[in-house]
Structure 1
C-alpha cells in the first residue's frame, strides 16, 4: 500500500517562508506544524515536500551572475625539490603536535621543537617544499610566530599564492614584505620610486630594507623624498631600518631627525647617532659625561667620583636625554646614566689617565655610584658593539660575583656576550658553568651559537652529570635539558651512552630522580641521533639532481 502525502498548498506569506520550514524541522512536526499543512502523521512528509517546493522557488529566483574568473596558476618555484627522505621527515615533523596531558615526556624526541632547526638547514641548502606540505606548513607557522620567518622563507612563492585563498593564512601576506608581491629589481629606479610613493606600508618597509642592505645611501636618499609627509609611526619604522649599514654618511639626516616632532623618532635618531663614535652628538655626550666622572687621587687608592647633572636642559633633551625619570628613580642618576650610555667608550681612557677598560672597571667608585656607572657602561658597550669593554665588564667567568663588576644582571651579561665572537662567547659561558653550575646559565646559553662548540657542550653535560650524581631535584634542569636536545652537537651522542643507566638513588635524593635522569639522557641521545639523521637526509641528492649526468 502506497502512502499518499497530504496536499500542500503553499502560500507566499506562509508556506513560502523558508524560515518557517526551518523552524518546523528544528522543533519537529509534533511540536510545530509545517505552514500550510494540517497536523497529523503525514506532517513530516508534507514538510519535506514543502521544503522541496521552496527550494525550487528560491533557486529559480536567483539572477544569473557572471562566472568568477578562475585564479591564476600558482607561480613556479625554481628551487630544487627536497630529497625523498627529507620530504618524508618534513611530513613527520609537521604532523607532530605537543601533547595536552601533563606528566613525564618519556624518551621520545619533541619533533615540533626540531622543526625550526630543520627549516634553517633546508633554507641554507636552498630547497623547495613539496606542494602537498604547504597547508600543514602554513598551519604550523600560524600557531607559532617564532617559526614564521623560516617557515615562510622555505614555503616560498607558492605558499603566498595559497594564503590568498584562506583567511587563516593571511598572516603570511602580512609577514612577507610586499604581501607576497615581488619587489622590483633594485636597479629599476623608476619602479622603485613608484612603489615607494604608491605602495602599501608593508611593501615600502620591505623595499627600504632590501635597498638598505645593498645600497645604504640610495635607501637613505629614497627615505628623504617623503620624510616630511610620513606619519610619525611610519617615520619611526623607516628610521629603524637605518641600523643596517649605519655609517657616518647617515649623520646629517639623523641630526635633522633630532628636531622631529615625535619624541620616539627623536630618541631613535639619538640612539643611532650615539652608536657612531665620531658623530657630533657623540662628541657632545662625551663632554657632558666626562664632566660627571673624575679620578680622586687624594685617597689611598685612586677612586672614581661622580657628580651627576643637576638639570636636564633643552640641548640635552634635543640629543635624546629623557627628562622625566621613571617612578622610583632619582632624576640626577637617570640623567647621568643616559649621558654615560650615549658617550663614546673611547672617551674614558683619555679622560681617566690613559687606563685600559679593565683598569677603569677595576677602580672603586665613591658614594654608591658603582652600580649606576657600570650599568651605563654595559649599555654603551652593547650599543657600540665594543668587545674590549664587554670583556672588561664581564670579567672572568669564575669571578665570585658570577659575572664581573659591571654586569648587574643576567640579562646584561647575555647582551655583553652578544658583542663577542661565537667561539669566545662559548668559551666564557663554559667557564661560567664550570664555576657556578647551571642554575643561572640558562639565559646565557640562549645567546650561544648553535650547535654549541665542543667546550660548551662538554661543560653542560658535565654539569648535568654532576647534578645527577648529587641527587639534585631533576625537574629543575628540564629547561637546560631541552636546550641541550636542540643545541648540542649531534656528534656528542656517542659520548653520552654512559649516562643512560639508572643510577643508584642516594638517601637524600628526590624519590624517582634516578629514573627521571636516565629517561632524560635517553631522550637527549635519541634526539641528537635524530638530528644527525635529519642533516644526512638533507645532504642526499634531490630528485632533480640525482640523475644529472656529470660533465
Structure 2
C-alpha cells in the first residue's frame, strides 16, 4: 500500500482531499471512481439532499452517501482552485475627486455618527419611551449641515450612503452633504448605485454649452434627460422647449408626460403654441397635463375658451323684491362636446360623481380666477365666495375654485376660500356636505407667516383633530403663536383625559417642528398629573412620558444646531469619528 503523508492541520479541505486520494490509491484499478462529477451536479445533490437525489459519486461499502458527496466536493474544490490561472493586475481606479468644502466640526461629526448608527429606530416597540427618536432627527440634521456648506467626513460616507439607500426621503440632503466623493465610492458597491442614478439638475450642462446639451439629450438616460431639460429651462426656457420639440414625436407616452411636466420650470406665454399642440396628443394624461399648464397662463387662448364655457354655466342672479339678494345660479353643461374633450375635459366621471357636476368642476377649475370679478360686477373674491349658491351647487362650485386657487397660486382667492380660522370646519372645507377641498393645499398659497397665524387660530378654535395636515405645510421651526397653540391644545387634551395615542402624530410633529427655545418653559408639563374621572387608565403616565420626550428632543435639537455652528477644525482628521472604517483616499 502506498503511504501518503498526512495534510497539515491548518488545511482541513486539503486533508479531506488527501484522505480520499489515499483510499483511491489503495483501491484496485477496477474499483477506481469514474471521472469527477461536474460541480453543478454536486451542488444540486447537496441542495436537494442525498435522500431525494442520488449523488453522482461512488459510494463505497460502509460509507454513507452524504459522506461520499462531501468527499467528492472537497476533491473538486481543490481541483477548481488549483486550476485557476493568475489574473492580470487591473488598472488602479482614478483618484477620488477633491471636495473643497470644510468638514463638519468634531462635535457635529460625532453626532452624525450616532444618528447614523441609530437609524434603525425603536424597532417593533409600540411604546417609544421618553428618549428622543434619533431616526426622525437625521433629516433635520442633514438639512442644517447643508445650510452651513459642510461636507461629510470620508469615514462616514459608507454609513451615509447606507442610510440614503434605506430611506429615499434622505437622499437629496445626504448626497448633497456627501458630495463628489460619495459618487466616486458608489461605483465600487452595487448597493450604492442609486447615487449614480440620482442625477442632480444642477450638474447638467447649461444652455451656454449647446454641444454638450445636445449630446446628453440624444444619448443620456431618461433621468439625465429630465434633469437636463429642467436645468436648461431654468436658465433659458425657450431653449429647453425647443430641445423638447425636436424629439417630441418620437418620445414614448410616459416620457412625454414627465418631459411636459418639466415645462413648469420657467412657464411663460411663449410656451403656449407648443402646449396647444400637446392638447392633440394621443395620450390622455399628456393632454390633461398640457391643459393644466395652459390654465396657468391666464392670457392664453385655452384659458379664454375655458372661461367662456365656465361663465356660461355660472351666472349672477340679481336680487328680487323682498329679503332675497343676489345669488349665484349654476347650469352645468348638458354634454361634453368634442371641443371640451380636446381641451382636456375628461368625459367619464369617477365612481360616485355625477357627469354634469364632474364637467362643471373641470371647467371652473381651468378658468382664470381674476375674470370672475368681472363676471360678478367687480366684486372681490371674498364677496363672491360669500354669495349664496342656488340649487345646492355651493360645494361643487367652491371646491372647483379651491383647486383653481392652488393651481394658479392666487393668494386672494385662497384667503377668501379659507375664510376666518375660527369659522366652523364645514365653512373652511371640512368633510361635511361631501366637500373634497383641502385646506392644507390652500394654505400653501399663502405667505409662511400668514399660514402659521391661520393654523394657530384654527387650532385655538377647533383643537388638533383636523389640524395635522395643516401643521405639515407650516414652515419649520414653527412661529411662536403656532407653537404655543399646539402645546396649549395638547395640554388641554391631557387635562380632558383624552387618549394620548390619538395625538401621537401631532406630538411627533412638535418634536421636529417646535422652536428648540421653547424647551425650558415646557418643563412644567413633564410631571405626572392626576387622571381626571373617566380618563383612560395610565393615560397620565403616557402623557408625562410624551412631554418628557418632547422636551428632551427640543434640547437635543438645540445642542445639534449649536454643534454645527462651531467653527470647523481643519487640523482634525476626517475619519476620527468612525474608527474602523477606512477613509476614502484621494490617491486612488
Q: Which moved more, 1:426-435 or 1:50-59?
A: 50-59
Partner SS, residue 301 of structure 1: coil
Q: Which residue of 2 aligns with 1:314?
A: 338
Tell me which of 416, 435, 440 is aligned to 1:414: 440
* 2:23 matches 1:7: yes
Partner SS, residue 291 of structure 1: helix
List alignment gaps of at least 5 residues for structure 2: 7-18, 26-30, 574-588
* 2:466 matches 1:440: yes
Residue 15 and residue 331 in structure 1: after superposition, are their counterparts in 2 closer, same or farther (change >3 A)?
closer
Q: Which residue of 1 aligns with 2:167?
A: 144
Q: Which residue of 1 aligns with 2:505?
A: 479
Query: C-alpha displacement at 1:298, in angstroms?
Result: 4.3
Residue 248 and residue 38 in structure 1: after superposition, are their counterparts in 2 closer, same or farther (change >3 A)?
same
Correspondence 1:315-394 to 2 at 5 A: 315-394=339-418
Query: C-alpha displacement at 1:312, in angstroms?
Result: 1.4
Q: Which residue of 2 aligns with 1:165?
A: 188
Residue 384 and residue 40 in structure 1: after superposition, are their counterparts in 2 closer, same or farther (change >3 A)?
same
Contact 1:309/1:335 (8 A) holds in 2: yes
For 1:321 and 1:50, the matched residues in 2 are separated by 72
Q: Which residue of 2 aligns with 1:297?
A: 318
For 2:355 and 2:70, the matched residues in 1 are separated by 80
Q: Which residue of 1 aligns with 2:285?
A: 264
Paired residues, number? 543
Q: Which residue of 2 aligns with 1:246?
A: 267
Query: C-alpha displacement at 1:249, in angstroms?
Result: 1.8
Partner SS, residue 533 of structure 1: helix
Partner SS, residue 371 of structure 1: helix
* 2:109 matches 1:87: yes
Cα-to-partner distance string for 1:154-182 (whole Å, 9 max, x where unaligned) = 2222222222332222222333348xx95
Contact 1:410/1:444 (8 A) holds in 2: no
Tell me which of 114, 131, 144 is aligned to 2:154: 131
Q: Which residue of 1 aligns with 2:578?
A: none
Contact 2:395/2:435 (8 A) holds in 1: no
Contact 1:489/1:528 (8 A) holds in 2: yes
Residue 136 and residue 142 in structure 1: after superposition, are their counterparts in 2 closer, same or farther (change >3 A)?
same
Query: C-alpha displacement at 1:234, in angstroms?
Result: 1.2
For 1:309 and 1:329, the matched residues in 2 are separated by 15
For 2:38 and 2:298, the matched residues in 1 are separated by 79
TM-score, structure 1 normalization: 0.91
Residue 200 and residue 42 in structure 1: after superposition, are their counterparts in 2 closer, same or farther (change >3 A)?
closer
List alignment gaps of at least 5 residues for structure 1: none
Query: C-alpha displacement at 1:184, in angstroms?
Result: 2.8
Q: Which residue of 2 aligns with 1:59?
A: 81
* 2:477 matches 1:451: yes
Contact 1:14/1:36 (8 A) holds in 2: no
Q: Which moved more, 1:122-131 or 1:18-27?
A: 18-27
Contact 1:361/1:406 (8 A) holds in 2: no
Cα-to-partner distance string for 1:467-521 (whole Å, 9 max, x where unaligned) = 1112222111111101000000111111101111111122222211111111111
For 2:64 and 2:416, the matched residues in 1 are separated by 93
Tell me which of 546, 554, 563 is aligned to 1:537: 563
Query: C-alpha displacement at 1:327, in angstroms?
Result: 2.2
Cα-to-partner distance string for 1:178-229 (whole Å, 9 max, x where unaligned) = 8xx9533542111111111121111111111112222222211222222222
Residue 43 and residue 337 in structure 1: after superposition, are their counterparts in 2 closer, same or farther (change >3 A)?
closer
Q: Which residue of 1 aligns with 2:129?
A: 106
RMSD: 3.0
For 1:340 and 1:137, the matched residues in 2 are separated by 48
Larger RCO (CA under 8 A, 6+ residues apart): 2
Query: C-alpha displacement at 1:51, in angstroms?
Result: 5.8
Contact 2:206/2:231 (8 A) holds in 1: no
Q: Which residue of 2 aligns with 1:286?
A: 307
Residue 213 and residue 12 in structure 1: after superposition, are their counterparts in 2 closer, same or farther (change >3 A)?
farther
* 2:208 matches 1:187: yes
Contact 1:393/1:406 (8 A) holds in 2: no
